[in-house]
Amino acid sequence: MSKVAVVFWSGTGNTEAMANAVEKGAKAAGADVTVFRTEGFGPSNAGEFDAVAFGCPAMGAEVLEEAEFEPMFASVENSLGGKKVALFGSWGWGGGAWMQSWEDRCKGDGINLVTDSVMCENAPDDDALAACEALGKALA
């Protein structure tokens, strides 16, 4: 049984709803899943998981949330080699450029993104939630 972490930051609840769908998909595929808000995940526990799904909405000028999520992600990104990783999040403006930047950053670090990232505009609809479930299954 694979161990999957779902790590997210959510300001409005949109990314949290996506995280819940990722969890549901991973559990349906037989994974042992632990969900973390940003402040609960770091280098000390990243090694415990075979796969990690990270969720963060676009903030400001199309960047990751800067006060909590960005510092956490920066602290663990060098420990993600050899793990399956997936990204998800929502945006309300700008068209999702933050996700392309985040994907490029991961690829530059040699992180194995195992599936297409999932993003949606504002609240996730049924299609976005189904894509998040599929993301969770891909990690399991």
State the CATH number of the domain containing residue 42: 3.40.50.360
Longest dimension (CA), the chain: 40
93, 13, 40, 80: CA torsion to nearest 10: -50
pLDDT value at residue 34: 98
pLDDT value at residue 41: 97
Residue 91 phi/psi, 5-degree rounding, is: -140, 155
Chunk the chain into consecutive blocks of 10 residues (it has 140) and report each block's average pLDDT, rounded to whole numbers: 96 96 98 96 95 95 92 96 95 87 95 95 96 97
pLDDT value at residue 44: 92
pLDDT value at residue 101: 95
Q: Which domain holds residue 33?
A: 3-139
Specify the number of domains making up the chain: 1
